[in-house]
Structure 1
Amino acid sequence: MRKFKTESKKLLDLMINSIYTNKEIFLRELISNASDAVDKLNFKSLTDESMHVDQADLAIRVSFDRDARTITVSDNGIGMTAEELERNLGTIAHSGSEEFKTENAESQGDALDIIGQFGVGFYSAFMVAKRVRVVSRAFGEDEAHVWESDGLEGYTIEPGERAEHGTDVILTLRENVPGENGEEGENYDRYLSEWGLKDLIRRYSNYVRYPIQMMVMKSRQKPKPEDAGDNYKPEYEDYEELETINSMTPIWKKRREDVEDADYNEFYKSTFHDFEDPARTISFHAEGALEYDALLFIPGRAPFDLYSKDYEKGLALYSSNVMIMEKCADLLPDYYNFVRGVVDSADVSLNISRETLQQNRQLRAIARRIEKRVTSDLEDMRDNAREAYERFFENFGRGLKYGIYASYGAKATELADLLLFWSAKEQKMITLAEYAKAMPEGQKAIYFAAGDDRDRLSKMPVVTGVLARGFDVLLCTQDVDEFTFQSMREYVARDMPKVYEDDAAREAAEKAVADGAEPELEDRHLELKNVATGDLDLASEDEKKEAEEASKEHADLFSAMKEALGDHVQKVSVSSRLVSADDAPACITTEGPLSLEMEKVLKRGPEGDVEGMPTAQRVLELNAKSPVFAKLAAAQEAGDADKVKLYTGLLYDQALLVEGILPEDPVAFAKNVCELM
């Protein structure tokens, strides 16, 4: 017996037990080696006129014998001599494929697509096999040789027989290992089935450029006997047929104009197990320092587990048509976690097991290009297929908003213009840019209201008051909306008509436009304001003066109402939002960064009942023009403290109900209403 070169026992043990994390990739590695062997022969035949090879006959064959517990991977490639068996299999980590690739680097072109790099893939067979036998006959040689090893101490090389050039790799599988102490055992029998092998081939080697063939069991109806009667029941028989298992030509390597949309849709549905066509298909080829092909899909519907902790994002990563990772998460940012697809590059540096990438900067470069391309296609859908985009946003918009919030606003530049919100004025979904374009002259902020129901929001006093002044309000009904706006702080509206500091400057600009000049444009920074928080500064000078006079005149009333409400409110004041007798008599607003809606969202969270959870600083704003206010003022003037307290409690509780919040004591509220009746 010959000993492995290098520190073989330690290195081989490392190969088998440490380098690979997934046992089932052994078949991928053996098929890749077989593909390299066929590729070498094909390339030699193209460069050496004395070699005559029928390319149509080049193939890889996979078979199994359940009784003998063997799996065989055969090819009719270039084969190996005894010396090559010694060099390639007896010297661990020597890659004959890499050597061949280097020698022919200048002339290989598209005719050669060598997969191997490290010379260790073959030894992955020992993860599942207790013995490996390799029978190989080099092209042009009359004699075959047999390499055999148990993967422990060494190997033997002896003369053998093979009818034609090529290589057979025969694995004798290990025995099953039962599980112990609740841990799962090892079931090697799963590889000894037609279904099991076909599944591995299609998952990892579906796009190897040569046919991977298997004898598969099929069923067919027997011919009906001539003497069969009317009550004859059809009979069936099983038979074996040689079938090509892999697709060979990856759809992502084809030019976009050469592929029908129906073919892309079918590939998407069969590969990613969806029953709906994708909403968008993105196919592109990148060149430069890194060359790769990408085929991406935006699904037509959200998967049921998209927002669960079990959902896994990522694109399938291939290298030279061989799958390396089923879901490479680093290729997608979290806010594009819904994108599915494939990236294939022969240039990425893989680690020795070919299960992960060696250089993160390569991955980051690909990921940046993919992110830009997805963003560009979403913008195109938004502008040219609005109905489809609104369906997309209904499915995946929450993730885009969360991308801004989770990045503390850093991603707002990339994502803000992809967001849609319901316009109370337009009664449709609009973008922030569309909101800004429709603003009346002098508007300096984007106004929004947050809640859980669009109809309720549209009727809230704080919303109707802003609408009455001619300003639009965005109605936000997702729990992440207000957090997103707080992270953004502002929206930069591009190419807005320039606002001039004085009439003279404006008149000069208007004259210039009349004379044929282009209108001046500017980027305008618009604050994002919740209509239920802080001072919106929408009141006219007369309204401000009236509010100030009412506050001074009824200071004692406000003091009594604050005392009645205690710590429930920060203060009671005259409203600058409610300025008409027809408006609501009161509303609740907040001061500080936390709104009532954000408080509700936090309370619904896992730590919502924890002591010390922050609460909104509530303000009860009164409509000084309302008849109710006149009743309050009269009760205060009459010295009826009980009535002031009763009215105060009722106004506060009904304002809470308008906000979708139950009064702290619903029984007391009902009792007070009945007393008034």
Structure 2
Amino acid sequence: MSVETLEFQSEARQLLQLMIHSIYSNKDIFLRELVSNASDALDKLRLESYRDKDLQADTDDLHIEIAIDTEARTLTVRDNGIGMSRDDVVGLIGTIAKSGTAEFLRKIKESQDAAGSQDLIGQFGVGFYSSFMVADKVTLVSRRAGTDEGVRWESEGEGTYTIAQVEDAPQGTAVTLHLKPADDEDHLFDYTSPWKVREIVKRYSDFITWPVRMVKQNPLEPDAEDTAEKAPELETVNSRKALWARPSSEVSEDEYHEFYKHISHDWNNPLETVRMQAEGTFEYQALLFVPAQAPPDLFMRDSKRGVQLYVKRVFIMDDCEALMPNYLRFVKGVVDAQDLSLNVSREILQQDRQIRMIRRRLEKKVLATVKTMMTEDADKYTTFWREFGRAVKEGLLDDPENRESILEISSFASTEDAEKPTSLRDYVSRMKDGQEHIYYITGESRTTIENSPHLEAFRAKGYEVLILTDPVDEMWVDSVPGFDGKPLQSVAKGEVELDPASEEQQSEYTDLLSWMTTTLEDTVKEVRLSSRLTTSPSCIVGDTNDLTPTLEKMYRAMGQEMPQIKRILELNPEHPLVTGLRAARAANPDDASLAETAELLYGMALLAEGGELADPGRFLKLVADRAAKAL
């Protein structure tokens, strides 16, 4: 038998060291993860056998078995599920083919305490590696269903692993943990105790639909060995009751939490549990969970999304995208439909009328649940919005049908309170008499926005302005007309008539505005008087339907060619620099230095909003020359 020795991927090697040397407060979790992986393998085999009638696989007695060898100090979790090929083993075990691992390692190093490190582990789905918390060596033997050759993988977690072909491996996967020496100080961590292992299975995996079997014990002596010559009798140690099919009054909160951890591979409790049951034209049951923390791949292109789909308790697929919209991709759970075909495919699901109806009801239920959080549990809602608000706002673009519901549960930073976001409902309740618009401003950061000259007049008059800094905010504000009958209005686009210039003032500045428009025609489309400035001499605003600078920059970063978008320069008619320029222009219209002053006004306005100068060197020279003349 040829044996290869290979090195772990560098990130996997670091992760193994973390698992081996960390002191995790609940080491029992390793068994839940192995049983969960075995359950997934059985689900996949049954589904594959439905789809491929020619698959040469034994599906008569699908189960999970846990075997303990007290003398050898080994614990084995085996299943007769789909199994793995050599390439599967190298790809799934020898490396970490899961996005976000580098980010996980970075955060774990930044964590200042052990508890913080342990909390992070649950966010990154690294369950198999938890075996090394309790084992000095792990051996895995597997044969993929329908193939003749198996594979044996083994590692002590020190940076390398061995892999070899096996001729007589049974169908499925067996993971054997060579346990570390018994902990004399804490007998609770003795995983060679059948009583201890049974207790872990009942606590964490009781709801798994596949039987989990162990050698039957003498009830009077729970740790006694079976010394009979006959083959040991096995018994099922989990109840196998699907939680979503049991009455809610019979399911404890702990059971919900453990089921969530099983399907999500998250080691933290969910933030909220949502149950649904529909009867009538078509029947289904749903058990959904809102996580307490965003997964690391939430905004990655290849992130998993959707809930598990069952048909009459038969597992059909993971991450059924047809059941949950993309903006709710963080929701985990199970949907069990009664009237679908077992051979349904992802393509068919996209067109299925029942699935579309279930999806609409699920998303409405999730949004209603969040609204209840908002009104009844402020702390829970704050956690939800901090973790998932940016994703939820994508629905304002993708889901016009539920746009009003999404707006109802959304929160935004505003000038009203630097610490506490506001809902649109609360914003409207604070609107001033005669105020017709919900004012907002977009930008890359709150600091930049708060220093923007666009806010000056709004602050002076006490108008509240929403501060929108997420990239998605640049997109949805142009698609959403308003809320509760109040239209949205950017304070940095279009005309804002807070305190418009008088006809006399407009007449006084006609010549200057015309001249500056011509002088700056390469960079601006118009120069006009402003009603939004109180202390700054100038600001730049977009036309009503123009792209914002941030959105323009985003498109360019994505490789899209964009034509130059000229914007509007607004002047403060009360500022000494502007009144002085008007007087100088009236006295000596041929003075060449006036054009430089106009250029300075534009450059200052561009910098004030966080923009980039086309020629910073020239601008600095103009500033230096003017400063020198003033001395």
Output the TM-score relative to the length of structure 2. Answer: 0.64
The answer to whether residue 469 in structure 2 is matched with residue 544 in structure 1 is no
Q: Deviations over 1:127-182 (max 9, x none)?
A: 945xxxxxxxxxxxxxxxxxxxxxxxxxxxxxxxxxxxxxxxxxxx63579xxxxx
Q: Determine if contact 2:47/2:315 at 8 Å carries over to the other structure.
A: no
Describe the superposition over 1:633-674 as per-residue Cα deviations: whole angstroms up to 9, x where unpaired: 232133263321121111111111111112111111111111
The 5 Å alignment of 1:162-561 reads 174-175=148-149, 189=169, 191-195=171-175, 211=211, 213=213, 242=234, 244=236, 248-351=240-343, 360-407=352-399, 409-427=400-418, 428-491=420-483, 493=484, 525-539=485-499, 543-545=500-502, 548-561=503-516
Structure 2 residue aligned with 1:573: 528
Residues 407-430 of structure 1: per-residue CA shift (max 9 Å, x gap) = 4x4542232212111121233211
CA–CA distance in structure 2, aligned partners of residues 16 and 244 of structure 1: 23
Write the distance in 2 (CA, Å) between the matches of 1:476 and 1:488: 14
Seen in structure 2, the aligned counterparts of structure 1 residues 271 and 277 have a Cα distance that, compared at 3 Å, is same
Partner of 1:219: none
Correspondence 1:25-44 to 2 at 5 A: 30-31=60-61
- 1:566 is matched by which residue type in structure 2? E
Cα 1:565–1:194 shift into 2, 3 Å: same
Matched, 1:621 2:601: no
CA distance in 2, matches of 1:366, 1:655: 52
2:587 is equivalent to residue 633 of structure 1? no
Distance, in Å, in 2 between the alignment partners of 1:273 and 1:666 is 52
- 2: CA distance, partners of 1:375 / 1:18: 37
Task: Quickly say closer, same or farther: Cα 1:17–1:662, change in 2 above 3 A.
Answer: closer
Cα contact 2:538–2:572 (8 A) shared by 1: yes
For 1:641, what is the secondary structure of its paired residue? Answer: coil
Spell out, residue by residue over 1:510-563, the C-alpha distance to the aligned partner (whole angstroms, 9 max, x if none): xxxxxxxxxxxxxxx211110011112222xxx431xx3233223332233223
Q: 2:51 aligns with which of 10, 17, 20?
A: 20
Q: Contact 2:396–2:476 at 8 Å: present in 1 too?
A: yes
- Give the whole-Å Cα distance in 2 for the aligned partners of 1:245 and 1:577: 72
- 1:274 maps to amino acid: D
Contact 1:450/1:597 (CA < 8 Å) preserved in 2? no
Distance 1:284 1:348 in 2: 18
Alpha-carbon distance in 2 for matches of 1:358, 1:638:
72
Using the alignment, how far apart are the partners of 1:283 and 1:303 within structure 2? 22
How do residues 588-627 of structure 1 correspond to structure 2 at under 5 angstroms?
588-608=540-560, 610=561, 613-627=562-576
Question: Rg: which structure is higher?
Answer: 1
- CA contact 1:20–1:353 (8 Å) conserved in 2: no
Partner Cα distance (1:383, 1:625) in 2:
46
Give the root-mean-square deviation of aligned CA atoms.
Answer: 4.0
Distance in 2, matches of 1:666 and 1:21, equals 66
TM-score, normalising length: structure 1: 0.60
- 1:587 alignment partner in structure 2: 539
Work out the CA distance in 1 between the residues paired with 2:351 and 2:547: 45
- Could you say which residue in structure 2 is the equivalent of 1:170? none
Q: CA offsets per residue over residues 69-123 of structure 1, 9 Å max, x none? A: xxxxxxxxxxxxxxxxxxxxxxxxxxxxxxxxxxxxxxxxxxxxxxxxxxxxxxx
Q: Distance in 2 between matches of 1:375 and 1:188?
A: 53
Q: Residues 50 and 342 of structure 2 are in contact (CA less than 8 Å); yes or no, is this contact kept in structure 1?
A: no
Note the C-alpha offset of 1:468: 1.9
Partner secondary structure for residue 479 of structure 2: helix
Aligned runs of 1:11-90 on 2, under 5 Å? 20=51, 30-31=60-61
**Cα separation, partners in 2 of 1:355 and 1:644, compared to 1, 3 Å:** closer
1:643 to 1:603, Cα distance in 2 relative to 1, 3 A: farther
Do 1:350 and 1:358's aligned partners in 2 also have CA atoms closer than 8 Å? no
Q: Tell me if the contact between 2:408 and 2:425 (Cα under 8 Å) persists in the aligned partners.
A: yes
Structure 1 residue 284 displacement after superposition: 2.9
1:651 correspondence with 2:601 = yes
Q: Is the 8 A contact 1:458 1:464 kept in 2?
A: no
- The superposition leaves residues 597-620 of structure 1 with CA deviations (integer Å, 9 ceiling, x where unpaired) of 344443453124x2xx14443111
Three-state SS of the structure 1 residue aligned to 2:393 is helix
- 5+ residue gaps, structure 2: 1-45, 64-77, 84-143, 152-164, 177-201, 217-222, 225-230
Percent identity of paired positions between Structure 1 and Structure 2:
34
CA distance in 2: counterparts of 1:358 and 1:487, whole angstroms: 25
Residues 644 and 387 of structure 1: CA distance in aligned 2, closer, same or farther (over 3 Å): farther
The structure, 1 or 2, with the larger RCO (C-alpha pairs under 8 Å, 6+ apart) is: 2
Look up the equivalent residue of 1:556 and give its one-letter code: D
Q: Tell me whether 249-258 or 15-24 shows the greater mean CA deviation.
A: 15-24
Q: Distance in 2 between matches of 1:625 and 1:354?
A: 64
- Give, as a single letter, the amino acid of the residue that structure 1 aligns with 2:171: Y
1:404–1:22 CA distance, 2 compared to 1 (3 A): farther
Q: AA paired with 1:602?
A: M
Larger mean Cα displacement after TM superposition, 244-253 or 373-382: 244-253
Residue matched to 2:24: none
Q: CA deviation at 1:467?
A: 2.7
Amino acid at match of 1:30: D
> Secondary structure at the residue paired with 2:478?
helix
Contact 1:316/1:327 (8 A) holds in 2? yes
Distance in 2 (alpha carbons) for counterparts of 1:373 and 1:341 = 13
The CA distance in 2 between the partners of 1:622 and 1:265, in whole Å, is 60
What's 1:70 paired with? none
SS of 2:274's equivalent in the other structure is: strand
On the 8 A contact 2:528/2:570 being kept in 1, the answer is yes
Q: Alignment partner of 1:464: what SS?
A: helix
Instruction: Give the SS at the match of 2:275.
Output: strand
